[in-house]
Amino acid sequence: MRHLLSAADLDRATAVHLLDTASQMAATQAREIKKLPTLRGRTVVNLFFEDSTRTRISFEAAAKRLSADVINFSAKGSSVSKGESLKDTALTLQAMGADAVVVRHQASGAPHRLAHSGWVDGAVVNAGDGTHQHPTQALLDAFTLRRHLRGDADNPDGVGLDLTGLHVAIVGDVLHSRVARSNVNLLHTLGAEVTLVAPPTLVPVGAESWTSRTSYHLDQVLADQQPDAIMMLRVQRERMGGDGTGAGRTGFFPSPLEYTRAYGLDARRLALLPEHAIVMHPGPMNRGLEISADAADSPRAVIVEQVANGVAVRMAVLYLLLAKEKETTP
Amino acid sequence: MSATYLLRGAAPLGGDPTDLLLADGRIVAVGADAARDAGDAEVVDAAGLVALPGLVDLHTHLREPGREDAETVASGTRAAALGGFTAVHAMANTSPVADTAGVVEQVWRLGRDAGWADVLPVGAVSVGLAGEQLAELGAMAHSAARVRVFSDDGKCVHDPVLMRRALEYVKAFDGVIAQHAQEPRLTVGAQMHEGVVSADVGLAGWPAVAEEAIIARDVLLAEHVGSRLHVCHLSTAGSVEILRWAKSRGIDVTAEVTPHHLLLTDELARTYDPLYKVNPPLRTDADVMAVRAGLADGTIDIVATDHAPHTREDKDCEWAAAAFGMTGLETALSVVQTTMVDTGLLGWADVARVLSTAPARIGRIDTGERAHGRPLAVGEPANVTLIDPAARWTVDPAALASASRNTPYGGRELGGRVVATFLRGRPTVLDAVAVPQPAPAR
């Protein structure tokens, strides 16, 4: 593995190995001294063209706990409006000697461009690009799913296992969601079945070619399929019609209230889930829109744990890309 | 100075080899007479070469005035000559926009001064391409540039009333409206063809229906007002069906397809390389097959390049930030040979039709002293392109003459190569090399 650009690039063995490594990393985080010397002397640049405090601090924590030097480069707003091109930013980082570039960008494919343009030598980690991919989110989701639904007393993290036989419902704005795309790829690779649930306006044309199924009816999916996990996606304010902020523009659904009625996870729908099912959300949540406080704060919700697992997964990614570079690069 | 050329052993429209004698800007002899009358004419060994009437591009972006960093009239027409073209229609989306007699005359004069090919300026339909108010179409038609093709290309004339008025108005001078068919509301922020690939790569979709809906509306408008309509860069299977239906009803509509829509598909967007970002976007394999079939059966009338040069900084970036467009003048004929001739879909006479005769007719430049798209016959203007159909070449972007390098064919092997181009008897290209043109007489 030279870069991590898309969850679609991971085969089953690599994905399981990443999750197993994350499990080892998580174990070290239970110690009093959390820091490992593994990446001492290596430089990780967090290149964020888009605001994302959560993802940035998660990567920052992961790199620091591996003793890497971390440079945070916040190029907020588009590269164009900032007046410097992606290329020049990349060349600057290259000149500073970045061993890995963790990039978040509003343009789909920007990390792919960085990795394949010859502008940087270092490993490129996609921390979310436009409406394309967010592979570390999918990895942390898979890690969380495996831990809760595959782990047992002897093997609490389900080390060595995949997600075969599990059924996951992903609910919400699939059209604009890199989280959904990444999870469709990775969860399928790991053997899980994925059902996307969304109003038809928020399912991309072409999704029929994906490895997932699509439904427009959340209640039906909950009743008939009894998913082992339900993952709620964030609904962006600007996607709304009616009294959303996009006044006078055509929304993807008539109103927030109608969305919540059809696709929100509330106490009633929570009760329809099987006993063992978990509730996930990549954050940040719109409480009262896609998820009610009852659901978000219920014992089944693993949303806060997803955040913790994110650090372990990102440690594993950086470790496998940088510390094991020589062994894995042909 | 000898202005006489004997093209020895050329195959007109791929037929039996013969000789053509070019003198005083005209074809003065064909066949046995040619060699007899040749005198001290310069001999061009054209054995094995196909002779076509000089190619005519109905859709070129020369970028001047305004974006001379991407292309100039001189650099673009030199590229055109190397691609076998003797006439190019220069689109109106320059800066300032070609929406007045002054700008179209400027472009026309720049073309005449450069001398590589006749430049026929296209006039904007609306002032500033804003889609609100008709530009002075009559003034442009009656200017020295004699504009007959009007287009807001790059933008769609989306207001149905404005489109109707434009279609009607240009009847007074036998003009044609060349529509860039793109429903703007269906394509806000659009980056690539909407389908399986856009769903995977997460780029905003440009649905086929946004093109087809406008074409359907416009053919009905053209029928209603009895006007001539030309559809730019048709790209979808559905558009071909609509055109077929419109022509079967006798509607006066013509259409063009670009070389890149004959060859490339949206799968290339998986590379995120903005060289493949173009408007209308590269479509699916099924669409490519449909536009080839449409061109073969005459539903699509012509091939036009939509040569769209862009500077490196406009392509050396992330996909969403990059400009739409790709160059095409120097590769058009090779792509047509590769996709249409080598596949048996078209013969060389058809190539002459789709790349010369028909575009000249649509642009109304097929009569008079400076006519294009004429037969290779005695007395006709000596606009001739010689092609080596057996040549194979690998496209090297740096070796192309366009001032910009945004060709999508870099590294790709294509069949067929332009060997020589004559504009009214004067060579602009010989031995596949551009011939420096004399300074303009002042």
In a domain, A24, yes or no: yes
In a domain, A125, yes or no: yes
Range of the domain at A285: 135-302
Of B99, B306, B314, B366, which residue is the catalytic one? B306
- Residue A22 and residue A139 in one domain: no
Domains of chain B in start order, with CATH, are 5-51+378-434 (2.30.40.10), 54-362 (3.20.20.140)
- Residue A113 and residue A171 in one domain: no
Partner-chain contact B198 A181, CB within 8 Å:
no
- Residue A159 and residue A296 in one domain: yes
**Tokens encoding A49:** 């063209």
**φ/ψ (deg, to 5) at A104:** -115, 125
Of B194, B316, B318, the CB nearest to A109: B318
User: Rounded to 5 degrees, what angle do the CA atoms B292, B294, B296 make?
Assistant: 70
Q: How far apart are CA B440 and CA A137, in angstroms?
A: 65
- Residue A268 and residue A283 in one domain: yes
CA atoms within 13 A on the CB side of B89: 33
pLDDT under 50 in chain A at which residues? 78-80, 243-248, 327-330
Of B200, B317, B319, the CB nearest to A85: B317
**Quick one: pLDDT at residue A237?**
73
- Residue A112 and residue A42 in one domain: yes
- Residue A144 and residue A291 in one domain: yes
Partner-chain contact A113 B272, CB within 8 Å:
yes
Of B196, B204, B319, the CB nearest to A209: B196
- Residue A199 and residue A319 in one domain: no
The predicted-structure confidence for B13-47, as pLDDT tens digits, reads as follows 999 999 999 999 999 999 999 999 999 999 999 99
Strand ranges (E), B13-54: 18-23, 26-30, 42-45, 50-53
Query: Which of A320, A321, A305 is CA-nearest to residue A26?
Result: A305
Mark which residues 47-86 of A lie under 8 Å from B by CB.
Answer: 78-80, 85-86
- Residue A193 and residue A311 in one domain: no
**Which of B200, B209, B266, B277 should one mutate to test binding to chain A, selecting the residue with the greatest count of A CBs within 10 A?**
B200
Q: How far apart are CA A164 and CA A184, in angstroms?
A: 14
| pTM for the predicted model, two decimal places | 0.94
In a domain, A195, yes or no: yes
Q: Do B355 and B328 form a contact (C-beta atoms < 8 A)?
A: no
- Residue A275 and residue A252 in one domain: yes
The neighbour count for residue B164, using CB atoms within 10 Å, is: 18
Q: Which residue of A has its CA nearest to B195?
A: A206
The predicted-structure confidence for A58-101, as pLDDT tens digits, reads as follows 999 999 999 999 999 887 654 445 567 888 888 888 888 899 99
How much of chain B, in percent, has pLDDT values that exceed 70?
99
Query: Which of B67, B65, B114 is CA-nearest to residue B87?
Result: B114
In a domain, A2, yes or no: no
- Residue A167 and residue A244 in one domain: yes
**Quick one: pLDDT at residue A93?**
86
Write down the residue that tokens 């064919």 correspond to: B409
What is the β-pairing status of strands B413-423 and B384-394?
A: antiparallel
At residue A223, the 3 state secondary structure works out as helix
In a domain, A80, yes or no: yes
CATH code for the domain of A292: 3.40.50.1370
**Quick one: pLDDT at residue A330?**
39
**Tokens encoding B43:** 């001999």
**Quick one: pLDDT at residue A53?**
87
- pLDDT classification of B306: cutoffs 50, 70, 90: very high
**φ/ψ (deg, to 5) at B311:** -70, 160
The neighbour count for residue B258, using CB atoms within 10 Å, is: 27
Q: Which residue of B has its CA nearest to A249?
A: B185
In a domain, A330, yes or no: no
How many separate domains does chain A show?
2
- Residue A187 and residue A295 in one domain: yes
Q: How far apart are CA A128 and CA B115, in angstroms?
A: 52
In a domain, A170, yes or no: yes
**Quick one: pLDDT at residue A92?**
86
pLDDT at B10 over 70: yes
In a domain, A54, yes or no: yes
Q: Could you confirm whether B306 is annotated as catalytic? A: yes
Partner-chain contact B316 A85, CB within 8 Å:
yes
**φ/ψ (deg, to 5) at B57:** -100, 125
The predicted-structure confidence for B102-129, as pLDDT tens digits, reads as follows 999 999 999 999 999 999 999 999 999 9
Evaluated on CA atoms B336, B339, B340, B341, the torsion sign reads: positive
Q: How far apart are CA B421 and CA B423, in angstroms?
A: 7
Of B194, B202, B273, the CB nearest to A108: B202
- Residue A260 and residue A179 in one domain: yes
Q: Which residue of B has its CA nearest to A90?
A: B317
Q: How far apart are CA B46 and CA B11, in angstroms?
A: 8
Partner-chain contact B201 A132, CB within 8 Å:
yes
Overall average pLDDT of the B179-198 stretch? 97
